[in-house]
Structure 1
């Protein structure tokens, strides 16, 4: 019985990646680039203590290939304690299409919305676009980000997410980068099949009608993963969701530079994962149980266990490389081989940290 259970846990994940590889090649959706007439667009960004990251974000916004008369940029300073507000004020000068506000927080907002969702909700009355784009303060957006993402919208599409790559300078950062290819690759395949997936707060666009229909960030329930929550609300209103994966809409984000920061991030993400439907929970759970089954198999037949592990490494590596090459990136096998060691540590520590009786810390706020 134990051997059967171990076989079930170990076989599931390689089979899953084999199926994902086939689906990625047979059901992949691609789009062109939006053409004239281009719609009015509003970019929404909530910022808290982003003094170090702001210059490169603002430079990337200046380089956007989109008509200035059709582009509005909305920036909310979420009670920063550094020079974020000062930098925003200076940058907004002589840019008539830029609006920045200092977000307010009261007792009601503390219980109804997280800090980011609260700041974004306060931008609602300022938005004039027909499509709302979202990214984060630690990101770098490419010049054709808007045009490429807009191409993913059809008549009943309410939300389009893009693709995000972690800029890695360390081994831990490289593992985070691969982890993102893993997650977003699975999301892409599942989304292209027409099943519900998740929002992506640092690379996401929402049709105005869909945002208003679901109540926006001021109307969704409290959540530490507001992008997931609003995507669920939009899909419940009957709007479709798409994911556009291309070099033209590849957003770059910063790595978490140590395990402590990474676990804080993953504890928050796990809170969101616990609200997913049963199918997603099974898929994510089997990723963890693979290592449990592998350990059980190791004691009875270590050679077979190594073979099974090798098959998994090859299949998932091929899937990651297929996903990254779609955006002009290339992953090295020397990094992919060590990914499972990171994954085992990350899964184990995240589960322990999630159930540890301590608050979730996000942007220096406890939840």
Structure 2
């Protein structure tokens, strides 16, 4: 499976979008924020540095009952912005929407353009983000998903970055075959037409993976999707600070995985069985055979990761591969146990079942 995915990724033809037609359209950037005083300035500074004309951009920030200085920091950062900036305090619940989905539902109602660019408060987007994503939003395309990688100075941060980018490479392989997998709500374009035909977040079933819920609803209404694996749409996410918080994040993501088609879940489960079967191979054929198989797996994984970093315009961190194997085993085992615990989903200090 890994060899096939690696080959398909390396052989894939990167679609070249048509030039963005003139005049360039107005766009809306929607950001949900809750207690993000430490990150929001970085996010909004990147938006101020977008190469897209500022007078065609409206930035809508939803302050979700923050108890820190999120709003003050945001307003100070956007002071003098040439485009339109508005910070909304979210106090009411719309329909079935809760948490981040509720914030985005409010922002979508205020937005005045036909293109909703959605990102998170801990994300810094690329300067060419808008004009690189827009050409992929054809008449029947409902969602366009960009590329995000974690960046930080610690080894734990860098392993998260490798994990993210390699996972997105695998998603890209499946998406290139015309199979919808998921969207990513920290780097996503949704057209107004696609969003409104679903009824919006206030009409969708509540989910802790609200981006995937919207993605499914848009597809169900007959729209298609695009996943863009290009450096022009690369955004940088702040890393998760602790292993426990990482487990909470991945447990939340598992909700989306559990909603994937059965054939894809089976493939993921088969892939996850590598390490248990490797132990069986140690017993059946000895440690040298198992080490040889592990070495081939690491080589293929490295080639896939190299392709992902290369296509993203980044330098491949080859030195991380040995530590990444330990990281993968530890995360897989810990998450398998953590998923079974009766622990509520924790998102920005709020708990959801």
Q: TM over 0.5, yes or no?
A: yes
In the alignment, does 2:3 pair up with 1:18?
Answer: yes
1:120/1:217 contact within 8 Å kept? yes
- Other-structure match for 2:70: 84
Select 1:102's aligned residue among 69, 89, 107. Answer: 89
- Other-structure match for 1:69: 55
Distance 2:309 2:139 in 1: 29
In the alignment, does 2:12 pair up with 1:27?
Answer: yes
What does the per-residue CA deviation read over 1:149-180, in whole Å, with 9 as the maximum and x for residues that have no partner?
11222221111001001003111111111110
- Other-structure match for 2:219: 235
How far residue 92 of structure 1 moved from its aligned partner, in angstroms, is 5.0
TM-score w.r.t. the length of structure 2 is 0.95
Select the structure with the greater relative contact order (CA < 8 A; seq sep ≥ 6): 1
Aligned pairs (5 A) from 1:96-135: 97-106=84-93, 112-135=96-119
Select 1:192's aligned residue among 176, 182, 201. Answer: 176
- Other-structure match for 1:283: 267
Q: Secondary structure at the match of 1:251?
A: strand
Q: Secondary structure at the match of 1:295?
A: helix
What does the per-residue CA deviation read over 1:63-91, in whole Å, with 9 as the maximum and x for residues that have no partner?
11112222111110011110012223444
What does the per-residue CA deviation read over 1:20-51, in whole Å, with 9 as the maximum and x for residues that have no partner?
12222333332345342211110000001110
2:44/2:78 contact within 8 Å kept? no
Which deviates further from its counterpart, 208-217 or 26-35?
Answer: 26-35
2:41/2:74 contact within 8 Å kept? no
What does the per-residue CA deviation read over 1:294-335, in whole Å, with 9 as the maximum and x for residues that have no partner?
111111222211111111111111011101111111222221
Distance 1:194 1:361 in 2: 33
How far residue 101 of structure 1 moved from its aligned partner, in angstroms, is 0.3
Q: Secondary structure at the match of 1:252?
A: strand
Distance 2:165 2:74 in 1: 32
Kindly report the root-mean-square deviation, in angstroms, between the aligned alpha carbons of the 2 structures: 1.6
Q: Secondary structure at the match of 1:331?
A: coil
Q: Secondary structure at the match of 1:198?
A: coil
Q: How many correspondences in the alignment? A: 349
Select 2:238's aligned residue among 254, 271, 278. Answer: 254
How far residue 221 of structure 1 moved from its aligned partner, in angstroms, is 0.8
- Other-structure match for 1:267: 251
Distance 2:73 2:221 in 1: 38
- Other-structure match for 1:303: 288
What 5-or-longer segments of structure 2 have no aligned partner? none
2:146/2:234 contact within 8 Å kept? yes
